[in-house]
Structure 1
Amino acid sequence: MKRVMLLFLAIGLLSCGTSKTVRVSKKVIKGDWTLSAISYNKTGNYNVTLLNDASKDCFEGSTWQFIPNNNTGVYAINKSSCPSGDRNFVFTIQEVNAETGLYDFLLKPTNEKSKSETNQGFRLKLAALSETDMQWQQTVSVDGNPFIITMNFTKILK
């Protein structure tokens, strides 16, 4: 009897797996991307460090690779005036509202073995995703007011 109950429990858990939106998004995000532009919703000169790593100028032009079958990836900053090199991360696409199709992108920097040294991650809104373009938005607080950072990616077609 216990085995039958465990079987039904396992089937129930598997049927509640990732939504169709998330599965499709993972297929689309797979591959190589360039972070082509970063903008802010307020005008002015801001000294922003993205992902606790580098400045906006360093991130623009960085290349990103997403491997959805194990939720890992690597981004590389290549500008000579910046701390260059590869950075590893794990990511999750999390559906926020099934009716609107809105979802979040959770990104956690890791080492090469997918282990986080700080256990710190970042929640970004996956605002747009197509076969060629992707947009993330991160809302932070500046002087108690919302400040939105928008990151636009372009897929590298092979």
Structure 2
Amino acid sequence: MKKIFLLCMITSMFMACKSASTTTASTEAAPLSKKLDRPTQVAIKGNWVITNVSYPGSDYIKVNSFDLADSKCFIGSNWNFISNNNKGTLSLAAVNCTEFSSPIVWSINNQGLFVLKVLNAGVKAKKVREGYLLKVAGLTENSFQLVDNINVGGQTKEVVYQFQRAN
């Protein structure tokens, strides 16, 4: 068992992992097509910063978050969530990472899943066919986590994005 785990870890070191939560717009990635958890959306509205990204094996495995950048590039990223129209923005500006800024469309469905679409400039959300489903956890007035699932060596592992409310 130890040899299999070690082999998986070594293999994973040479491969980047990406989110296993990609969906299509015809399922749950169309944020406005399903019943929404409005109270949770209202609780999340505003400006937030990701203060930490954690997952098992983070010293050995690179995770490509949201098909945009290495997960560590999201530490310090700024997110704005507008709850009345399910729009917002995300901006990456970490040292040694490519700067990135984009509009987003988001919602929290009635199963408590955070639905995210990252939009390219000038592209409407209904034209974007892929999105991400993440679990919302630990929601307080000033913090919450989004939890994504990744596949590492055939096993599902959780990537936890820790958000803190920005001033």
Q: TM-score, normalised by structure 1?
A: 0.76
8 A Cα contact 1:71 1:90, kept in partner: yes
Give RMSD over aligned pairs.
2.0
| 1:39 paired to 2:54 | yes
Query: Which of 88, 106, 126 in structure 1 is aligned with 2:103?
Result: 88
| 1:108 paired to 2:117 | yes
2:6 corresponds in structure 1 to none
Q: Distance in 1 between matches of 2:80 and 2:102?
A: 10
C-alpha deviations, 1:76-133, integer Å up to 9, x for none?
Answer: 111242121311111110122xxxxxx1101011134562565210110011211100
Within a 5 Å distance, the mapping from 1:1-12 to structure 2 comes to none
8 A Cα contact 2:41 2:107, kept in partner: no
1:63 corresponds in structure 2 to 78
8 A Cα contact 2:50 2:76, kept in partner: yes
8 A Cα contact 1:29 1:66, kept in partner: yes
How far did residue 62 of structure 1 move? Answer: 0.4
Query: Which of 68, 90, 94 in structure 2 is aligned with 1:53?
Result: 68
Q: TM-score, normalised by structure 2?
A: 0.72
8 A Cα contact 2:75 2:94, kept in partner: no
Q: Distance in 2 between matches of 1:43 and 1:111?
A: 29
8 A Cα contact 2:92 2:100, kept in partner: yes
Q: Which runs of 5+ in 1 are unaligned?
A: 1-16, 97-102
C-alpha deviations, 1:32-68, integer Å up to 9, x for none?
Answer: 0000000003464111110000112211000100011
Q: Distance in 2 between matches of 1:121 and 1:152?
A: 20
8 A Cα contact 2:103 2:120, kept in partner: yes
Q: How many residues align?
A: 133
1:154 corresponds in structure 2 to 164
Q: Relative contact order, CA 8 A, sep 6+: which one is greater?
A: 2
Q: Matched residue of 2:97: which SS?
A: coil
Query: Which of 109, 130, 141 in structure 2 is aligned with 1:131?
Result: 141
Aligned-residue sequence identity (percent) comes to: 29
Q: Matched residue of 1:95: which SS?
A: coil
8 A Cα contact 1:88 1:114, kept in partner: no
Q: Distance in 1 between matches of 2:115 and 2:38?
A: 15
Pick the structure with greater CA Rg: 1
